[in-house]
Amino acid sequence: MVQVLYADKDILVAVKPAGVESQAAKRFAPDMVSEIRKYLVIHKLCTPGKEPYVGVIHRLDKPVSGVMVYALSKNAAAALSRQVQDRKLEKIYGAVVCGKPEKDVDKFVDYLEKSVDGNESYVVDHGGKCGKRAELSYEALESLEDGGNGILTLLRIRLETGRHHQIRVQFASRGLPLFGDRKYGTGAAAAAGPLALCAMSLSFVHPSTGKPMTFSVPPSGGAFSKFKFFQDA
């Protein structure tokens, strides 16, 4: 199941499919950590007879696909985690929203708070005690009319912070829910297909060599297939 883009003794970069948990899952559902451990054992990239160490550095929501990096040692995990804290791990997403933003290029800054059960997030006033600052910038790449779904817009999004459901909440709060978002969206497009959100590029510094690294995967399927932008790239 795992599509590995790169692996060495310190890190493994893979593409997480939509519908798979990015960390260890409860019950018997598939998850990336378990699949990566299997990959390391099968390809003899770990010590025989010992469960491989797989450190989760960042997360993607279950319905989101895209590029992720995992640490294969505790030292690598600590170094990569510092990059996350210092905002040096750059994440670029592709998304399809219902509607068209007022500006082709813009930046959103909000404060988000989780619901009591932790299953949803919402925008709160700056003065909220539990609100966490959420920042992202975006560029509109292409818009089209999609019959009963109305106008759809393809976006490239640079995530500055990593809050719970951040992209989905910030766009939905402005009347631009993501295509296929059953949690925050409304109307036909909310249930028309899979969530149109993909972590299409990840950049960071290798924890041991210090070499800048970038890995990319083009969004595909679902609402993304309606646009020519990535097909012509």
Q: How far apart are CA 14 and CA 111, in angstroms?
A: 31
Among the listed residues 8, 31, 61, 86, the single catalytic one is 61
End-to-end Cα spacing for the chain: 26
User: How far is the C-alpha of 233 from the C-alpha of 229, rounded, in Å?
Assistant: 6
How far is 23 from 220, CA to CA, in rounded Å?
Answer: 23
- What gap in Å lies between CA 28 and CA 113, rounded to an integer? 30
Pairwise CA distance, residues 72 & 14, whole Å: 13
CB atoms inside a 10 Å sphere around CB 176: 19
Q: Are 93 and 60 in contact (CB under 8 A)?
A: no
Q: Taking a C-beta distance cutoff of 8 angstroms, is the pair 218, 230 a contact?
A: yes
Q: Copy the structure tokens of residue 209.
A: 């060599």
Is 104 known to be catalytic?
Answer: no
The catalytic site residues sit at: 61
